[in-house]
Amino acid sequence: MDCRTLPLHSAEDIDLDPFGWSVGISQDTALSDTRFYENAVQLYKPGLFVSDDDTTLSVARVQPRINEVIWMERHFKHTQVFVPLGGNPYVVVVAPPNDKEVPDLDAAIAVQFPGHLGFMMRIGTWHEFPFAMQNPVDMIVILRNETNRDLDQLANDEAEGEDLQKRNIKARLGVTLNFDCSAC
């Protein structure tokens, strides 16, 4: 079994463009004034949210778990979003979209997000569900309801549907990914 350790990148210091966009306001965020409320409300759009059908917003409680990636998935019809509540940091392992049946593990990275930044992925970005670090993370998850239904369509212990491919990279490729979070 091959186990590869990914370097851990800070979401505030890495170009996320191949994978998606951070969701949060920092000093560098360009805000737009609204014509109402005497400009007491300012807006920004981190990226174009895309979904062509029934979309759901849920809240997940993510408990700390071992920093091992066995599963990676992608979505074909929407830009999935993770938005933390409560300020606790989390890590997302991603690989860029591709036209293969499995992610390109040589291009996979682990990104640590501070608790004030969310993450909206590009369509097709391979990813594992976020990892909580020392403390649980409650996070808003926005995705298509079809994806939830696709998770129940199992074939060879993997989920498959029109909007989802969830792959067991350990079984398919003989590889697991992990990341060192000693500094987290």
- Sequential pLDDT tens for the chain (184 residues): 888 899 899 988 889 989 988 877 666 667 777 666 566 667 666 667 778 788 888 889 999 999 999 999 999 999 999 999 999 999 999 999 999 999 999 999 999 999 999 999 999 999 999 999 989 999 999 999 888 888 888 888 899 999 999 999 999 999 999 999 877 7
* Residue 157 within a domain: yes
Tell how strand 8-10 and strand 109-115 pair up. parallel
C-alpha distances (whole Å) from 135 to each of 40, 130, 161, 184 are 34, 13, 33, 11
Q: How many domains does the chain have?
A: 1
Residue range(s) defining the domain that contains residue 158: 2-23+52-179
What's this model's pTM, rounded to 2 decimal places?
Answer: 0.84
* Residue 69 within a domain: yes
